[in-house]
Amino acid sequence: MPERRRLDPLAPWVELSTTAQDWESADPALLATMLGQLHLIRAFEETVLELAGEGLVHGPAHSSIGQEGGAVGSIVGLGSTDAINGSHRGHHQFLAKAINHVSGGALDPAALVTADIQTVLQRTLAEILGLAQGYCRGRGGSMHLQWFEAGALGTNAIVGGGVPLAAGNAWAQKHAGTTDVTVSYFGDGATNIGSVLETMNLASAWKLPLAFFIENNLYAVSTTVAESTGEPRLSARALGFGIPSWRVDGMDPLAVHLATKEAEQVMRSGNGPAVVEVEVYRFFHQNGPYPGSAFGYRSKEEEAAWRARDPLDRVAREMIALGQIDPASIAAVREQAQSAMRDAVAQLLEADPESAGKRRIRPELWPDVDFVNVGVRGDASELNGLRTLEPTDYRGELETKKFVDTVAGVMDRRMAEDARIVVLGEDVHRLNGGTNGATKGLAKKFEGRVLGTPISENAFAGLGGGMALDGRYRPVVEFMYPDFMWVAADQVFNQIGKARHMFGGENPVPLVLRTKVAMGSGYGSQHLMDPAGIFATSPGWRIVAPSNAADYVGLMNTALALQDPVLVIEHVDLYAETGEVPAGDLDYCIPLGKAALRREGTDVTVISYLSMVKHSLEAVELTGMSADVIDLRWLDRASIDWDTIGTSIRKTNSVLIVEQGARGTSYGAWLSDEIQRRFFDYLDQPVERVTGGEASPSISRVLERAAIARTEDVVAGLEVIKLGLGTR
């Protein structure tokens, strides 16, 4: 018979409950503050449901009624520099943090609503109604509430989507030398999401001061936790990552507070993350003012049993039993909270002159429609005053360098001058510079700032996004191959790309994402894509694509100076190439939105980027055509050099767009459409395009070659243009 030995988890897992002694020992001021917060949040949520019932809330109204104990108990002990983020059901968390911030963490039940608290209630309600005075200027609504000053990093509509961002904030707190912590709130469904589990692993490995706070309300929409997982005690997720965890009754705010304070001790002492699971119950359906029983997935008896455990009543009963308050004073607390909400509503609504007995939002409070696209990205004013240089105009001393050495060299220079820059990605710290040498020498020189990550694109991409939003660091995230962005698509597109605009258009997101196009390397269908087309049609990102070493210096420096997320695309074909760069100068910038004219002609405008610029020049030589060859350099919608493109098209009256990658994800498809809209009157023939095939490149050398464009494909494209010229 085999021998068996019981294995125990590395970290403790406990269930915490309060006793009568805990309530007797609790600071009366703490209980009074919790009581006040609970009633303010309950009155707020009741008002939201009332307005939703009147059709005045556009979109969902995810009520937290019944769940307030988890938020209040965990947040009441946090400071303003501690941070939280949450999920789509996050009104209670946001309000608890905002009220804590403006009140200094103490409320007086006899004078509950100060002017600052009234402002918090009104601005939060205005945000949920989509109004300009809201914290995100009406763009966030119910699911995207952010107020950085109060330490509220932003609630999130993607299940589990905010958790990696919280890890980035926690990383910044730790490495800035603070004892602050971050608490990320999410529901039972998110515990089965890859990004959450990836982040648990990363936070544990790096000992980040991050609390994973699970609000287990027993249901997704209508699916029970027992149906969704084989281990319904969701804090058990922590055991696989060596994270200490607590399980607690979320209808008991004091128990939540005590568990959270124990978790804080772990985090603030530098011992890494914690998991707190609270069992709570939303009294209403997933969305709107009806109970779950109205939809048949819960019984009225179950709902009544949970309502009898209302956290507001629990705190009131305990305080009354301790002689700290009486029933009349409890009623007065509730009336103050309700009165505050009536006042907030009165500021935002008015009688509807077209419908007797109904209300409407005051028309003057809506955002101006001209605000719709403001803040998709910044205005780039941060680049003002930087030294710019066009390498082709440089007349000083030159030196010959390999492209990949230039990549490492410019990062070395910037990291030496800017201690905020942190590089992270898979294997970037080893192999003498990662898998291609792009981070050569950096790990030894900048200890603690070149972070080799686990294989967890969602987690480390989102962590970089959280670092960028925090503002104390400037992350440079490397995706080993661009195809891996699909693994991290939520963090790349839903989170990082949309963050500035979604939360009001003002918060910078200074992040650089490096990746390489590896077509021709034989790595097959899941490693060889060109990401330009996907990023160009996704909001918020700027894109640079250098075709030579000298341009790389200037483009990377500009990317690192921008306050927007920037995708820097490299090409493996260029890594081994040598080129002339200004000798000893790694500090110049290439202006935002400036293309380079690599060759001048009169017959056709050839537009390309990356390694296909070289192939385009070769093809022009082979055909003998007279062509303008434009190296785009900047590819995103906001940074395209339409002046250079337009001047050329007005001269040549024909266009050939050249790219190497697959037709389906083509960058040129978008560019062609835009060119024909802008310059239709100057075109004598349709825009011609050279791309790869429909299929992703295969492993077979022959099939891979057939799937991607090279010089001969550009020659064929130019021949088509030549035929069109003959018919003019």
pLDDT one-digit tens code per residue, 371-382 = 999 999 999 999
- Output the pLDDT for position 432: 85
The two beta strands, 512-517 and 566-571, are parallel
Rounded CA separation 362/360 (Å): 6
Laid out side by side, the sheet with 421-425 consists of 450-452, 421-425, 474-478, 512-517, 566-571, 542-544
Confidence of residue 213 (pLDDT cuts 50, 70, 90): very high
Q: Per-residue pLDDT tens for 86-117?
A: 999 999 999 999 999 999 999 999 999 999 99
Contact 333, 112 (CB under 8 A): yes
Contact 167, 146 (CB under 8 A): no
Least confident of 24-33, 220-229, 357-366, 709-718: 220-229
Instruction: Work out the average pLDDT over 503-519.
Output: 94
* Sequence-distant contacts of 47-54: CB under 8 A, at least 24 apart: 47/125, 47/341, 47/344, 47/345, 48/91, 48/125, 48/128, 48/142, 49/284, 49/288, 49/289, 50/289, 51/129, 51/345, 52/288, 52/289, 53/289, 54/358, 54/359
Q: Is 400 helix (H, G, I), strand (E, B) or coil?
A: strand
Crossing angle (nearest 10°) for helices 163-175 and 194-206: 10
Least confident of 433-447, 450-464, 476-490, 513-527: 513-527
Instruction: Work out the average pLDDT over 346-355.
Output: 96
Q: Kindly report the backbone phi and psi dihedral angles of residue 276, in degrees, each rounded to the nearest multiple of 5, phi listed first.
A: -125, 120
Q: Kindly report the backbone phi and psi dihedral angles of residue 405, in degrees, each rounded to the nearest multiple of 5, phi listed first.
A: -70, -35
Give the bridge partners for 655, in sequence order.
605
Over the chain, what is the mean pLDDT?
A: 95
Q: Is 5 helix (H, G, I), strand (E, B) or coil?
A: coil
- Output the pLDDT for position 526: 78
- Output the pLDDT for position 316: 98
Rounded CA separation 433/418 (Å): 20
Active site residues: 457, 527
Instruction: Work out the average pLDDT over 650-664.
Output: 95
Q: Copy the structure tokens of residue 656.
A: 């050939």
Instruction: Work out the average pLDDT over 647-651.
Output: 98
- Output the pLDDT for position 53: 94
Q: Kindly report the backbone phi and psi dihedral angles of residue 352, in degrees, each rounded to the nearest multiple of 5, phi listed first.
A: -80, 115
- Output the pLDDT for position 433: 87
572 pLDDT more than 70: yes
Count, in order, helices (H) and strands (E) of the chain: 25, 22
- Output the pLDDT for position 288: 87
- Output the pLDDT for position 252: 98
592 pLDDT more than 90: yes
Q: Which residue has the higher pLDDT, 287 or 667?
A: 667
Say what the pTM is: 0.95
Instruction: Work out the average pLDDT over 405-430.
Output: 96
Q: What per-residue string of b and e applies to 198-223 under the rule 16 or more CB within 10 Å gives b?
A: bbbbbbbebebbbbbbbbbbbbbeee
Rounded CA separation 574/281 (Å): 57
Instruction: Work out the average pLDDT over 418-438.
Output: 92
- Output the pLDDT for position 696: 83
Contact 666, 691 (CB under 8 A): yes
Contact 49, 63 (CB under 8 A): yes
Confidence of residue 727 (pLDDT cuts 50, 70, 90): low
Q: Per-residue pLDDT tens for 281-323?
A: 999 998 888 889 999 999 999 999 999 999 999 999 999 999 9
Instruction: Work out the average pLDDT over 10-14.
Output: 95
Confidence of residue 439 (pLDDT cuts 50, 70, 90): very high
- Output the pLDDT for position 643: 98
Instruction: For residue 29, count other CB atoms closer than 10 A to its CB.
Output: 13
Rounded CA separation 633/391 (Å): 13
Least confident of 65-74, 285-294, 651-660: 285-294
Highest-scoring range by mean pLDDT, 657-661, 692-696, 703-707: 657-661
**Nearest residue to 497 (alpha-carbon basis) of 476, 511, 482, 480:** 511
728 pLDDT more than 60: no
- Output the pLDDT for position 429: 94
Instruction: Work out the average pLDDT over 56-62.
Output: 92
The two beta strands, 474-478 and 450-452, are unpaired
Rounded CA separation 104/117 (Å): 11
